[in-house]
Amino acid sequence: MSSKPFKRILLKLSGEALMGDQTFGIDTATVTRVADEIRIAKEAGFELCLVVGGGNIFRGLAAAEQGFDRASADYMGMLATVMNALAVQNSLERLGVDTRVQSAIPMSSVCEPYIRRRAERHMEKGRIVIFAAGTGNPFFTTDTAAALRAAEMQCDALFKGTSVDGVYNADPKKDKSATRYESLGYDKVLADNLKVMDASAVALCRENDIPIVVFNIREHGNLARVLAGEGVSTIVR
Ligand code: UDP
């Protein structure tokens, strides 16, 4: 997959990855399975931090389209990501993985505020830091938050866990002849509007030279396999 092995990665988990077969909310068994993926990768010696989305609970843009004030709706979306972060933390700690949640919106009775240097220290101590509340600003997404935190934490790559094993030239769930890209340039992703991450996240990764690895998080042990250069994925660089 890569000539240079990755040591420290940021894993972006969308809210949907925690939903399982439900149409809304958090499915405990699914969160436990995702947490186990993270545990396996951690035990294989990789340093991980996470950004969790909130789309399984609340999306600001969708609410704004129904008449909500966009900024208020986005704050609600960010609060949803904190709920997901606590769910992931709970599952990881049950599996014996040491974690900290840091929120971009300070919420001192629930979790730590986001402090970059403190997050760095947690990672040095082998903890998994879960970044919640996106960037802390409305009109952004957790994809952009993932690119931002990956840059701040000097991650070697941003891993995007999805329900397919990479980026295809058509929707593989609808078109049998769709083929997967092994690797892609940032510019092609942006020019062809490929659904990898939103454009500002891709641009931020391009500016900071952070590869984006798209892989299937639903397959057991796949995160560790892709990290070891063995699994199937698409790398954007
Ligand atoms: N959000 C925001 N600023 C951010 C990150 C997220 O306002 O920096 C809000 C936005 O309303 C978004 C919601 O939080 O719809 C949930 O995040 P996102 O849609 O990125 O979650 P995902 O699609 O990854 O589940």
Asked whether 53 lines ligand 1 (CB < 6 A), one says yes
Q: What are phi and psi of 197, to 5 degrees?
A: -145, 170
pLDDT at 2 over 70: no
Residue whose CB lies within 8 A of the most ligand 1 atoms, among 13, 34, 81, for a mutation test: 81
- Closest ligand 1 atom number to CA of residue 14: 24
Average pLDDT of 66-91? 98
- Say if CB 226 and CB 215 are below 8 A apart: yes
Average pLDDT of 130-140? 98
pLDDT at 217 over 80: yes
Sheet holding 47-52, edge to edge: 112-113, 99-103, 128-132, 47-52, 8-13, 157-162, 212-216, 234-236, 183-184
Pairing of strands 234-236, 212-216: antiparallel
Q: How far is CA 179 from CA 62, 97, 158, 198, 233, in A?
A: 31, 37, 22, 21, 12
pLDDT in tens, 151-173: 999 999 999 999 899 999 988 88
pLDDT in tens, 170-215: 888 899 999 999 999 999 999 999 989 999 999 999 999 999 999 9
> Is 14 annotated as ligand-binding?
yes
CATH topology assigned to domain 8-236 = Carbamate kinase (3.40.1160)
> Is 23 annotated as ligand-binding?
no
pLDDT in tens, 141-153: 999 999 999 999 9
> Is 234 annotated as ligand-binding?
no
Residue whose CB lies within 8 A of the most ligand 1 atoms, among 103, 141, 159, 200, for a mutation test: 141
- Closest ligand 1 atom number to CA of residue 84: 25
Give the pair of three-digit tokens for residue 228: 């070891």
- Say if CB 138 and CB 76 are below 8 A apart: no
Q: How confident is the model at residue 4 (pLDDT cuts 50, 70, 90)?
A: low
Asked whether 133 lines ligand 1 (CB < 6 A), one says no
